[in-house]
Copies of this chain bind each other. A is one copy, B any other.
Amino acid sequence: MNIITPRPISGFPELLPDAQIVFNRCLQIVRETYELFGFAPIETSAVERKEILTSKGGDEKEIFALTRLFTRPDESPETDLALHFDLTVPLARYVAQNKDKLVFPFRRYQIQKIWRGERPQKGRYREFYQCDIDVIGRGTLNLITDAEIPSVIYQVFKRMNIGQFVIRINNRRLLQGYFEHLGVPAEQIGDVLRAVDRLEKEGRDKVRGELINKIGASEAAADDILGFIRSDAADKTLPTAGVETDAVLAKIKASPAMSNERFAQGAAELSTVIAGIRSLGVPDAYFRADLSIARGLGYYTGTVYETQLVKYPELGSICSGGRYDDLASYFTSDKLPGVGISIGLSRLVIQLIEAGVLKTGASTPAPVIVTTMDNTRMNDYLSLAAALREAGIATEVYFDKGRLGDQLKYANRKGFKIAVIAGESEFAAGQVKIKNLISGNETICNRAELAAQVGMIVMSHES
């Protein structure tokens, strides 16, 4: 037979079981935390009509279109289907489609794979998980909703235990008002926002040059803008104390731009959001008001968020989002304001595993293996395993023929924590041997006590 040797496909990451276990643990933390805040799960089909995906225009580069590999001559070829490239467009379509069946404010989370129909490039994923939350209002949505999102982000990454992080919060209205106050013409405000958004990537000098030479700002205006937003992160030092948030709020309050209505509204919003975040118990060390966060996307209209790992700024923002005025203007005339964030989990977790921040261990989810020294007693071993599982303890039975030493080697390679051992003498005495594979300790107990004894060792390993 002609054997096809499988090769990986660029941009489609896959994990070995030990890493998959770590990934799934992170996924589960995200899911549980989202639910803790009352976000309801939905899942949209991976496949959308092309007209839905391209409704905003401009994204054709990133889309994988579908065709049926085989179509009978009498069948329509169905050329209008494609894979979603994010979860926001599908959310907009879903909400518009079901708006009379949903209860608003609609709080949903969505954890799904998305696909990017890009050319293969080193380090770029073309299939990965996104984990999104959004709260969608019908007509209006209270500003205080914006305060809750950072609390969710804080809980997710705290539980994931990936080191110090900072949620950076700003308000685009505030920036827009500031630029207005400086006399930037309305039609150039978007350009200034996009230039400022690149400050961290490109550095102060390059952005200053762009503001002056491309956008036509005066030197004084460019320096004023850069002085106002003054990105600490651009200096590669992330502050960790709330005093800096208070200093930013004080600086805003004292700014002459407060005479600009939009600036004043943005200032009030940011201040309300910061107070809410504090009420929700997010420690000051984990967030800050940061005027340098602009989010390039025109989509966002008020609060914006980015999140950085303090020790791994090179990962960029690991969780971003913000407030928008209208989710689904392409699909319904109803006004649907919302606020949300997205975590690109595949890239984050895989990079943190590579960096050693998330540690891989066992390649089995079960802590216990029942070894099988005597193949004629297989049904007894199965009963032992059934008793352990009945007590909720995940258990594998060793089914191959092999000496105990080989079985324990297998147990170590897969990362089991406990081996259950029974041979002729144990069966005769109605007993079982329990070997703690971490400490090496062995104990003997009656068969009836097996699950309780093993359960205690499992708990001691977990604590």
A residues near B (Cβ < 8 Å) are 1, 3-9, 12-17, 20-21, 24, 35-52, 55, 60-61, 63-72, 75, 78, 81-83, 93-94, 96-98, 101-103, 105, 107-108, 113, 115, 117-120, 126-127, 135, 137, 140-142, 144-145, 147-148, 151, 155, 275-276, 278-281, 329-333, 363-366, 369, 378-380, 382-383, 385-386, 389-390, 392, 394-397, 399-401, 410, 413-414
Contacts and interface: CB of A to CB of B under 8 A. Distances in A.
Given A14-B45, A366-B38, A280 B6 contact: no
A69 to B, nearest CB: 4
Contacts of A392: 36
A16 B69 contact: no
A4 B51 contact: yes
Contacts of A50: 69
Contacts of A397: 144, 148
Given A35-B365, A331-B5, A68 B117 contact: yes
B378 A1 contact: no
Nearest to A104: B400
A280 B387 CA distance: 9
A10 B451 CA distance: 49
A20 B43 contact: yes
| Interface-centre pick from A51, A127, A369, A385 (highest chain B CB count, 10 A) | A385
Contacts of A275: 379
A15 B40 contact: no
Contacts of A127: 45-47
Given A9-B45, A144-B382, A60 B66 contact: no
A96 B70 CA distance: 28
Nearest to A277: B382
Given A4-B55, A17-B108, A399-B142, A9 B47 contact: yes
Given A67-B67, A281-B383, A389 B17 contact: no
A106 to B, nearest CB: 8
A365 B41 contact: yes
Contacts of A155: 389
Contacts of A102: 16-17
Contact of A142 (B63, B75, B107, B400): B400
A270 to B, nearest CB: 15
Given A385-B280, A400-B105, A63 B68 contact: yes
A228 to B, nearest CB: 28
Contact of A113 (B46, B331, B365, B383): B46
